Structure 1
Amino acid sequence: MKQEFFWPIYSQIEKEFIEVSYCINIDCHQLNVYSIKIADLILRTVSECENIAKAICKREGSEFLDKKGNPIRRTYFPHYMDAIDSIFSIKSKLVSFDFDNADENTFDQKLMPFYREKDGDSLKKWSWYDAYNAIKHDRVENYRKANLNNLINAMAALFLLNIYYSDKVVYDADGFDSYKLMEPIDQLSKVFSIQWSIDLSSYDGRSIGDDKVGFFDPVSYARVASEFSTYLISYDQFVKTDSDKGYDFLQQLQSSIVIANEDGSFTKAYEDIEPTDKKTLVKAVARIPRAK
C-alpha cells in the first residue's frame, strides 16, 4: 500500500483549525482576527504547500527554464505553481468553504486560492503566501497578517494541492449517479470541497443524480463550470480497476517464470501467457483533467 506523506499532515492542520473554530466564531466580520495559533497554522500550512508543489513537479518531470531556455538555478514556490498550472490549469479552480461550524456567508463567493490578479505588467502575489513570508521573516512586525482570512485561503490551497498530488480516479461500475460517485472525494475534508462537472464529450443527456436535477440543465452548467472544476465526470469509459491491476500483476508474474534447462538455457514456464493491460468498462468515472 502506497504511503501517504501529505494527507495526514493536512488532516492534522484541519483538525486544529476546527478546534480554533470553537474559540472564534467564524463569519465575515471575524476574518481579520489574528492570533499566535493562527500564525503557527499558516506557517505549517504554507510550508506544506511548498513541499507538495515540489513533489508534484518532480512526479510530472517539470523543467524550469529562463527566457533564454537555460535551467533556472534556484526554483521557488511560484515556479512550481506555474509548472503545475501548465499541466492542470490549477489557477482557475474553485474551492468551497463548506465548514459546518462557520457562517454560510463567511465568504461572498467560492475561493480561488491560486488565482492572481494583474498588477500592471506583473501579477499580484497571493495574499496568503505574502502573509506567510511576512510572518516567517518578521513575526512581531507582521502579526496582524496571521488572520483567519489568510489561514482559510492557505488551507484551501493545501487541500487543492493534496487533491492534485493524489490524482485519484473514482468510478462506479453499475450506476450513473454523479453525486454518489463523488462521495469519496467530498469526504476528504470537513472544511472544503472542490468543484466537479460533466465531461461533455461523453455526455448523452442522462440524469446526473436521480431526482437532484429538476429544472437544472447540466449541459449549460458544464460548459461554464468545467474551467473551474477539479474533476470531470465521464460516462461509459474503460478504466483500470483494482481487480484489473491484480490480474495484470498475476499475468506479469506468470509470464516471467522460467524453467532452467540442462544445457543452461531457460524456457518460459507458461508459453501462452503474456503481460496484459486489462481495463473494465464502467458506467461513470471521475478524473482530474489535464490541460490540452
Structure 2
Amino acid sequence: MLEDVRYDSFPHVLSLKNSGRAQDINYFRDFFDSIFQLSNVEVNTSYGLTAYGACRPFMGFLDSKNNKISRWWDAYNHVKHGWYVNIKEATLKNTIEALAGLFVLNILHKESQEYLIKYHDVITGEFYGLMPRGIVKLFSVSMIGKPRSYRNIMVMAKTPLFMHVFRVDNNVTI
C-alpha cells in the first residue's frame, strides 16, 4: 500500500515517501492515520456471554510526540524479543486488542471491503434495499466509512468476536 499512487493525493504522503525515514510503526502511523483516521476507530468485543467492551486499538496513534503506539503493540514487541522475561505481557486483553487492530485494518482496506461485503457478510447494512452492490458503492467514496448523506443508515462489520459501526464521513456525500 505504501507504493500505491492513489495515496499520493494526500498532502503528507509524498513528503513522507521522500523523507528517507525508516519504515517502522511510527512511519506507518504518520502515513495511514490521517488517511483512515485509525486512532478514532472503536471496536466492540464480545464472545458468547462474555462482553469485553469497546476498545480503540490505534488510540495510541494520537500521542505521536512520545512515539507511543499502543499497549498491545508494546506487549507484542516485548514478548517477541524477550519471551521468557516478558511473558506476563502476553495477556488475553493485549491479544484481543491486537486482533481488533487487525480487524480494523481488514475492514478499512479498500481491496478487501468488496470481498467482505459480497462473499462473507462481514460488512452489512441495516436497511432494506441496501444490497451488497450499494454498500460497495458507499465505501468507494470514503476512506473511513459512509458518506454523510447515509448517516441514518447503520453499516457495520461483524464477526463472532468483533463489531464495528462505520463512521460518517462528513467530507463526502453521494
Partner residue of 1:193? Answer: 163
1:81 Cα deviation from its structure 2 partner: 2.5
Q: TM-score with structure 2 length normalisation?
A: 0.62
Question: How many angstroms apart in 2 are the aligned matches of 1:178 and 1:74?
Answer: 41
Question: How many angstroms apart in 1 are the aligned matches of 2:35 and 2:168?
Answer: 20
Q: Does 1:163 align with 2:107?
A: yes
Partner residue of 2:81? Answer: 137
Q: Does 1:103 align with 2:54?
A: no
Paired residue secondary structure (2:96): helix
Partner residue of 1:126? Answer: 70
Paired residue secondary structure (1:193): strand
Distance 1:94 1:140, change over 3 A: same
**CA contact under 8 A between 2:26 and 2:67: conserved in structure 1?**
no
**CA contact under 8 A between 1:64 and 1:75: conserved in structure 2?**
no
Question: How many angstroms apart in 1 are the aligned matches of 2:39 and 2:168?
Answer: 20
Paired residue secondary structure (2:3): helix
Instruction: Name whichever structure is richer in helix by fraction.
Output: 2
Question: How many angstroms apart in 1 are the aligned matches of 2:24 and 2:170?
Answer: 36
Identity across the alignment (%): 24
Q: Does 1:174 align with 2:145?
A: no
1:152 pairs with one of 96, 105, 108 = 96
**CA contact under 8 A between 1:65 and 1:72: conserved in structure 2?**
no
Q: TM-score with structure 1 length normalisation?
A: 0.39
Partner residue of 1:80? Answer: 28
Question: How many angstroms apart in 1 are the aligned matches of 2:47 and 2:14?
Answer: 37
1:97 Cα deviation from its structure 2 partner: 0.6
- 5 Å matches for 1:12-27? none
* RMSD (Å), alpha carbons: 3.5
Structure with max Cα Rg: 1
1:75 Cα deviation from its structure 2 partner: 0.7
1:178 Cα deviation from its structure 2 partner: 3.2
Distance 1:73 1:199, change over 3 A: closer
Supply the AA of the counterpart residue of 2:69.
K
Supply the AA of the counterpart residue of 1:77.
I
**CA contact under 8 A between 1:95 and 1:111: conserved in structure 2?**
yes
Question: How many angstroms apart in 2 are the aligned matches of 1:99 and 1:83?
Answer: 33
Partner residue of 2:39? Answer: 91
Question: How many angstroms apart in 1 are the aligned matches of 2:58 and 2:86?
Answer: 22
